[in-house]
Structure 1
Amino acid sequence: MHDIFTAIYQRLSSITEGIGRAVSWLTLIMTLVMFTIVVLRYVFNFNLIFLQESVLYLHAIVFLLGAGYTFKANEHVRVDILYRTMSERKQAAVNLFGCVFLLLPMMVFIGIISWEYISFSWSIQEKSQEAGGLPFVYLLKSVILGMVFSVCLQGIAEIFRCLALLMTPDHQAPEDKQEAN
């Protein structure tokens, strides 16, 4: 059972990894667009609203779709006064509890409450309020559901990782336990 849980964790995490790596390239594009905005504004005294809005879109996409990847990399914000002193098995138990009773219910809640917000935006094909702005506000708002998907996916992967770790016999070698990570 341990091996099955580990395999499921690795498969789900590889999807999150792929999303995170793909999204990370948007930071380069965002930097280049921002550089272009600065050059146009301060060298040529010229401004394009759609370029400014595109930086906001890219920023939102990076943070929202990168949330699952950040969770996978264990780089999310954590108050770990007690957690860091716990054994690996106790940390797995805490993580399992957190995923099942906090993370996944919160993601489902965010998905449910954002659905009407996103649906309304799609129904009116919401556009930027700025003249010359991007006409894709409804697409940007849809990225919220992408965040829910990527975090839920990694949350489920984390559940399987924790179960695999908790099912590992205490006498198993530490290098074998490392495979579950």
Structure 2
Amino acid sequence: MPKIIKFYVHTVDTVCEKVGRFVMYWVFFMMFLLILSFVTRNIINFPLMWIIEMAQFTITAYYLLGGGYSMLADDHVRMDLFYGRLSKKGKAKMDVFTSFFLIFYLILLFFGSITSLIYTIETKQKLFTAWAPYVWPIKTLMLLGILLMLLQAFSTLFKDIANMKDKRI
């Protein structure tokens, strides 16, 4: 494999791993928010109107920013009707074939998220709730998460092509 591809794979894998490891701890922040919501609503009887939406934003960012790391760690869901019986080369060939569908889907999501973010910023979009937070922060994280998954999909594609040729990146 060319050095530029090796550099790309190493860089994207490193970024996705660092972001994924950082974001994996956000689940504890979300749990703290939900416990705080329970305490303020049921024990203190002083409900905080922003807390549930903040927990939703946190889990959304957790899910989207962790996508690239999930792909890197091969922790995503795969239908295993006959994939498990394939050889390493056979799995690599199947992954290369399916990668094109994944990349196409992620490109559509990426451009859709760009237009959605632009619209959100131009219209100063807010949620229709009592708290009424701006939507642009979560849409920005959505765009970054989809970009990381797209970059990781190309990295995985390059690694699968190398596996097909019995080479190492």
Superposed displacement of residue 52, structure 1: 1.4
Alignment correspondent of 1:162: 160
The secondary structure found in structure 2 opposite 1:49 is coil
User: Residues 126-141 of structure 1 correspond to what in structure 2 (within 5 A)?
Assistant: 126-131=125-130, 133-141=131-139
In 2, are the aligned partners of 1:2 and 1:167 still within 8 Å (CA)? no
Q: Indicate the percent of aligned positions where both proteins have the same amino acid.
A: 24
Q: Distance in 2 between matches of 1:21 and 1:55?
A: 19
Aligned twin of 1:36: 36
1:4 is displaced (CA, Å) by 6.9
- TM-aligned CA deviation for residue 56 of structure 1: 0.6
Residue 114 of structure 2 is aligned to residue 115 of structure 1: yes
In structure 1, C-alpha distance between the alignment counterparts of 2:4 and 2:164, rounded to whole Å: 13
**Deviation by residue 1:96-124 (Cα, 9 ceiling, x = unmatched):** 1222x211111111122333322111112
Deviations 1:49-87 (A, max 9, x none): 111110010011011111111111212121111111000
- Matches of 2:15 and 2:95, distance apart in 1: 20
> 1:47 corresponds to which residue?
47
Task: Give yes or no for contact 1:6–1:161 (8 Å, CA) kept in 2.
Answer: no
Aligned to 1:127, the other structure's residue is in SS state: coil
Which residue identity does 2:87 align to in structure 1?
Answer: S
Q: 2:123 aligned with 1:124, yes or no? A: yes
Q: Is the 8 A contact 1:128 1:134 kept in 2?
A: yes
Structure 2, gaps ≥5 residues long: none
SS at match of 2:50: helix
Q: CA deviation at 1:128?
A: 2.6
**CA 1:113–1:119 in structure 2 vs 1: closer, same or farther (change >3 Å)?**
same
TM-score by length of 1: 0.84
Which stretch has the larger CA shift, 7-16 or 24-33? 7-16
Q: Aligned residue pairs: how many?
A: 169
Which segments of 5 or more consecutive residues in structure 1 lack a partner in the other structure?
A: 170-176
User: Alpha-carbon deviation of 1:167?
Assistant: 2.4
